[in-house]
Chains A and B, each alone.
Chain A
Amino acid sequence: MGKPRTIFDKIWTRHVITERDDGDTLLYIDRLLTQENSYHAFDKLRREARTLRNPDQVFSFADHYVPTVARDQGIEGIQNPEIRHMVETIEADTKQFGITLFGLGDVRQGILHIVGPEQGITQPGLVIAGADSHTSTHGALGAFAFGVGVSDVTHVLATQSLWRRRPRTMRVAIEGKLPFGVTAKDAILAVIRKIGADGAVGHVIEYAGSTIRAMSIEGRMTVCNMSIEAGARAGLVAADEATFAYIKGRPYAPTGADWERAIAYWRTLTTDEGAAFDRDVHLDACEIAPMVTWGTSPEDVVPVTGVVPTPNQAPDPERRARMDRALAYMGLAPGTPLTQIPVDRVFIGSCTNGRIEDLRMVARLVKGRKTAVPAMIVPGSGLVKQQAEAEGLDRIFADAGFEWRDAGCSMCVAINGDMLQPGERCASTSNRNFEGRQGRGGRTHLMSPSMAAAAAVTGHLTDVRQLGEGG
C-alpha cells in the first residue's frame, strides 16, 4: 500500500506525460471544450500554420452569442452583424478543422457545461480543459476540469497537453440534510461566503460529506460550477453510483464491455482514507438558509432573512470601501431587509442553474401563480428544453407569465443581446453579480432557481419558504 491519495492525485498522476526538474508537469488533456470566443485560437493555429493534433478530442459549442429567440430563422435571424459573425465563425472554424460542433439548429445545442455532461462527453477520471472559467462544472462527475484562456486552448489544439504546476488541494465537507427550501445553489453560496472570493486561489476543491453525497448530479454540477467564484482552479466530487447511473446510456458514454471496464476504473477514483488535503473546510448543512447576494462579488452574500450589511461595521477600511462602492452600485441602503428589495426582472438559466432539475423547481413554485415582473427562463440546452416541454413545464411557465426561450448563456454573460438596462435590478440564477455583468449598470442578485421564482411572483426578494415551497 502506498501513501493514501486523493481523487485529484489519482487523476493528475495518470495524466503526467513528463515532469521537468523545476516541478512543472506536462499534463495530458483528454477533452477540450471551446466556444465562440475561442476564435483567437483558431486564428493563431492558422497564422502559425500548426496542425490540430486530435480533432476527435475537441468539442465546440455555440452558446455565448446565440439568440434565445427567433431560432427558426437560424443564423440569418441574428440582426447584429458582429454577433452573427461570431456564430458564423465557430461554424467555419469547426468545419475547417473537423471538430464536432453543437451549433445553432442542432437540437443538442446548449451551454457547454450543460451539454458536455448531457452527451456523456464528461466522464470520471478525465482531464478536461474548457475555454470558459465555469468548466469546473464538469468536476461534478469526478473529472478534473478547469477553464483556460485562448493561449492554452491553442496549446491544447496543437499538443493535446498543458504545462501545469500541481495545485494545492482543499476539501470542503458539508454534512447533514439541507433544510426545507435550501438547495445546492445555497450550499455553494454559503461556501463562498465562508472562504471568500479568493479563498480557494491555487487550490482544487474536493466537495465531500453526506450533503454532497445526497445531492443529485445536477446539484453537484451547480456546486462545482461556482468553484471559480471562490478562486479555485477546479472543483470535483467523487463519482459514485449516482454518477454512473447519470452517465449510462448517454451518446458518448461507453457501452457493453467498455462500460464494465470504465466503471471498474471509475470506482477506483475515490479519496483514500487518511489522504491529506492542504486545507479542510467544514459546513453544517442544517445551518444553511436560502442565500441572496447584496453586492458585486459572489462573496457579498447573506441569508435571505438578513439585511443589507453596514459598511462601517466591517473589520477593515479596505473592506468598508469595497462595501460602500458595492452598495452605491447596487443602489441599496445598509440595514434594508433583503425581502423588502423590489426587483425589475428575473432571469432563470445559465450553466449554474439551467438544467431540468432547476426548471422543475421553478415549475413547482410558479404553478398556479402569476409573475409580478418580467421574467425569462432560458433552458441550458435544446434537450433540456425538449424534456421540460415533454413534462408540460413550458405550459406552467407560460400560464404564469414567464418568457420561455431557447438555449444559451443569454443574460448570464449578456453578450447575445439579452441584457439588463442601466439601473435595472434582477433576481438571477446565474453565477456572477459583478458590476455590469448582466449589462452596463445592471444590478444582479444571485440566488437559487426557487428563490428567483419566488421573486418573480412577488416582485421583490422573497424567502421561498414563506411561499410554502422548498427547492
Chain B
Amino acid sequence: MEPFTRLTAVALPIDQANINTDQIFPARFLKKPRAQGYAAYLFHDIRFNRDGTEDPAFVLNEPRYRKARILVANSNFGCGSSREGAVYTLQDFGFRALIAPSFGDIFAANCVKNGVVPVVLPQTVAAELRHQLRMSDDPMVTVDLVQQEVAGPDGRRYEFAIEPFPKHCLLNGIDEIEFTLQHEANIAAFEQGYRADFEWLFRSRPEGGSTDS
C-alpha cells in the first residue's frame, strides 16, 4: 500500500449528499478485472451520457477539475453497497484523499485499506471548501495527514480527527494482514478457549446437496 503523508492537489467539489457506491461505481462493472484499471468507470452513469459522450453538467468534466486527486463531498458519501470497487475506481482515477462531513462506514473502512484517506470535517467547513473550489480558477487543497490538517484554496487551515491506527497504517502504508499476523499467538490462544466454550459451532458439517430444512 502506498503511504500517504501530505498532498497538495486539485480538489473536486461534489455538492450532492448521500452519494452512494452505485453512483461511484455502477454494479454492472463489478465483474471487470482490475488489471486494466477502473478509472473509466468512476461516476460512470452521472459522468457520461448514454451515447458515451461526457455530460458537461457533471463537475468532473470541467477542465479545471480533471486532474483532481482530492474530493470534497457532502454528508454520507459512499453510503450503500459494500463494494470495494468504489474505492478502486476513485483510486485508479487518481484520488488519494476524500473530505466529507460523514462517510458510509464500510466505504470509509475500505478507503483506509487502500491507502485513500477519508477526512471528516464539519458540514459548514466542507460546504465552505466546496464553495471556494467552485469560485477558484486554481482549485487546490492540501491534506496533511501528519499534522491532521486541511488547507483550503484561501489558505485557511482546518484540523481534523482520525483514529490512531488507521492513521498509522496510512502514513506507513502498512499491510494490515501482515500486521495482524504478528498477533497470531493471541488469535490462537483466543480460539482455543472459544472453541472449548462453543463446541457446537465447530462440529462436522452437513453434507451438501439436497438437504432440506
Contacts and interface: CB of A to CB of B under 8 A. Distances in A.
Pairing of A with B: yes
Interface of A: 17-18, 20, 22-24, 26, 28, 30, 37, 40, 48, 50, 56, 65, 82-83, 85-86, 100-101, 106-108, 118-120, 123, 126, 131-133, 146-152, 154-155, 158-161, 163, 165, 197-198, 201-202, 228, 231, 233, 249-252, 254, 258-259, 261-262, 265, 297, 299, 318, 321-322, 325, 383, 386, 413-415, 422, 432, 434-437, 440-441
A28 B50 CA distance: 46
B87 interface: yes
Contacts of B213: 118-120, 249-251, 383
Given A18-B183, A201-B105, A440-B26, A151 B202 contact: no
Given A37-B31, A133-B81, 19 more contacts: A17-B183, A18-B183, A22-B163, A22-B164, A24-B164, A37-B83, A147-B82, A152-B113, A158-B180, A161-B187, A163-B165, A163-B176, A197-B76, A231-B104, A251-B211, A322-B17, A432-B80, A434-B22, A434-B23
Contact of B190 (A23, A28, A197, A198): A28
A151 B34 CA distance: 14
Contacts of B158: none
A26 B180 contact: yes
A82 to B, nearest CB: 5
A387 B213 CA distance: 10
B84 interface: yes
25 contacts: A20-B165, A23-B164, A28-B187, A28-B194, A65-B31, A86-B31, A147-B106, A151-B114, A154-B177, A155-B176, A155-B180, A197-B18, A198-B76, A201-B105, A251-B211, A251-B213, A299-B18, A318-B15, A321-B15, A321-B16, A383-B212, A415-B28, A434-B80, A436-B26, A436-B45
B43 to A, nearest CB: 11
A50 B163 contact: no
The 10 residue pairs across chains A and B that have the minimum distance between CB atoms: A151-B113, A149-B84, A254-B200, A258-B200, A149-B110, A198-B76, A22-B164, A147-B82, A150-B84, A251-B206
A254 B31 CA distance: 37
A336 to B, nearest CB: 23
A50 B177 contact: yes
Most chain-B Cβ atoms within 10 A of its Cβ — which of A83, A250, A415?
A415
Given A56-B202, A149-B84, A202 B181 contact: no
B82 A131 contact: yes
Contacts of B50: 422, 440-441
Contacts of B79: 197-198, 231
A259 B109 CA distance: 36
Contacts of A20: 165
Given A149-B87, A318-B15, A28 B105 contact: no
A39 to B, nearest CB: 9
B208 A133 contact: no
A158 B206 contact: no
Contacts of B203: 254, 258
Contacts of A252: 205-206
A297 B194 CA distance: 41
A435 B202 contact: no
Interface in B1-56: 15-18, 20, 22-23, 26-28, 30-32, 34, 45-46, 50
Contacts of B15: 318, 321
A48 B176 CA distance: 13
The number of chain B residues touching the other chain, given as a range, is 35 or more
B177 A158 contact: yes
B106 A133 contact: yes
Nearest to A251: B206
B4 to A, nearest CB: 16
B160 to A, nearest CB: 16
A299 B210 CA distance: 40
B186 interface: yes
A3 to B, nearest CB: 22
B105 A202 contact: yes
Contacts of A86: 31
A262 B200 contact: yes
A414 B27 contact: yes
B128 interface: no
A120 to B, nearest CB: 8
Contact of B104 (A40, A146, A201): A201
A30 to B, nearest CB: 6
A261 B200 contact: yes
B91 interface: no
Contact of B187 (A23, A50, A131, A160): A160
Contacts of A101: 208
Contacts of B27: 413-415, 437
Contacts of B211: 107-108, 119, 251
Interface in B161-181: 163-165, 176-177, 180-181
Contacts of B109: 148-149, 152
B87 to A, nearest CB: 7
B187 A159 contact: yes
Nearest to B29: A415
B208 A100 contact: yes
A40 B85 CA distance: 10
Contacts of B110: 149-152
B74 interface: yes
Interface in B95-113: 102-107, 109-110, 113
A131 B190 CA distance: 24
Nearest to B184: A159
Contacts of A325: 16
Interface in B53-78: 74-76
A160 B18 contact: no
A150 to B, nearest CB: 4
A294 B190 CA distance: 49
Contacts of B74: 318
B137 interface: no
A18 B163 contact: no
